[in-house]
Amino acid sequence: MALYLEHAIVPILDLYTTIQWESWLSTWNVQWWLYLICTQLSTGGIMAIYLQHAMAAILYYM
């Protein structure tokens, strides 16, 4: 059940973060986001997964 919920929540987070961050892309450097994600991945934080999906959604809609 947990796996099902995880897959159900991911698209919702993608949509939410895309709407929330879409306007930020005009002022924020994409390289900064990539650096942030790499930093989170190297530390193994839970935010790494969230940022991965957010970045995927942002890149998809660019």
What is the 3-class SS of 31-50, one letter each residue?
HHHHHHHHHHHHHCCCHHHH
Give residue-wise pLDDT tens across range 2-59.
655 566 666 666 666 665 666 666 555 666 767 777 676 666 665 666 777 777 777 7
pLDDT at position 40: 65
pLDDT at position 7: 61
* Domain limits, the chain: 2-61
CA atoms within 13 A on the CB side of 24: 14
pLDDT at position 58: 74
